[in-house]
Structure 1
């Protein structure tokens, strides 16, 4: 019996060592990382990102470029932080609307994108088209829809419109300003 005792102790120590090595300290201590701690370490970082998204017919619908994308995967959702994002929407294989901003956050695999910081949306080809500016806007790229409750400035040639809140149906080239609308128009000569 004495010859087996050292062998059992060695096997038990090896098993305990393997279990300790394979278990994160949070699990051993019974602690889970806080949401803030989860947000600190992205699952994936891409610099100089260029993505292309196609419609069901196989033609290019829009593209998203960003200086940096930090991707976070959670149990029920995902999120991607975007640095200097640029989105270009296409209609009939031609660029139609271009967005730029300082930062953005894409949720649920890009189904909803919130752009922040000096957001500009420009009708292509620029110059000459409609130009929209706001501080923050939510875009649903697959529906080519954008909305905000912030102040919006729209410039179309010499005409200027300012208001609070906006719904933009990019595919239909239709924009609705929701409140406090002020416009100045230059009449045609």
Structure 2
């Protein structure tokens, strides 16, 4: 029977090599069980666009054939791997009954799921043509099909009546409702 004591008693090189090999196997097995290798099972998303457009413009119509919204950008990069497109200098024009009601512009943006959602970043401005009302923030998520938008970042609302600052905002364009979420402060003239 070969046990640890018998291996140590072996004077030949074979016994010593057997001992060293066994210890090495135990050390490697212990190391691997303490530090398991992590394999990333998520699909790799290609960060190279499959297409791009310069001076991009797209118009979406509603069920009655009138313009619902118009999206334009200086550049659009499309990534088919995760169904998104990135935008440089995007502008969204939202319409109601064929008339432009709101205009949104930003430094950059992302189109998600073919236009279900737009995530805008950098100097975002929401502007209503009819009364000069504007809202400024750093990020804004817009759902054009639902005529809604929101942010959890600080916002500044500017109108002819004054200025309001807040943190976070929900907008429902169809019902003309704007909800400020916290830290609301205003200055009226």
Shorter-chain TM range is 0.7 to 0.9
Paired residues, what number?
Answer: 149
Report whether the alignment pairs 1:71 with 2:78: yes
Counterpart among 141, 145, 149 of residue 142 in structure 1: 145
Q: What is the match of residue 44 of structure 1?
A: 51
Per the TM alignment, residue 172 of structure 1 is displaced from its structure 2 partner at its CA by 1.9
Question: What runs of 5+ residues in structure 1 fail to find an aligned partner?
Answer: 1-31
3-state SS of 1:143 partner: coil
Counterpart among 172, 182, 185 of residue 182 in structure 1: 185
CA distance in 2, matches of 1:54, 1:117: 28
Q: How does 1:59-98 map to 2 (within 5 A)?
A: 59-74=66-81, 77-98=82-103
Q: What is the match of residue 168 of structure 2?
A: 165
3-state SS of 1:171 partner: coil
**Alpha carbon RMSD of aligned pairs, Å?**
1.7
Question: What runs of 5+ residues in structure 2 fail to find an aligned partner?
Answer: 1-40
CA distance in 1, matches of 2:175, 2:138: 23
CA distance in 1, matches of 2:121, 2:64: 31
3-state SS of 2:136 partner: strand
Normalising by structure 2, we get a TM-score of 0.75
Counterpart among 117, 125, 128 of residue 122 in structure 2: 117
Q: What is the match of residue 19 of structure 2?
A: none
Larger Rg: 2
Per the TM alignment, residue 94 of structure 1 is displaced from its structure 2 partner at its CA by 1.1
Per the TM alignment, residue 174 of structure 1 is displaced from its structure 2 partner at its CA by 1.2
Per the TM alignment, residue 91 of structure 1 is displaced from its structure 2 partner at its CA by 1.2
CA distance in 1, matches of 2:51, 2:115: 15
Runs of 4+ in structure 1 displaced over 4 angstroms?
none
Report whether the alignment pairs 1:54 with 2:57: no
3-state SS of 1:42 partner: coil
Per the TM alignment, residue 158 of structure 1 is displaced from its structure 2 partner at its CA by 3.4
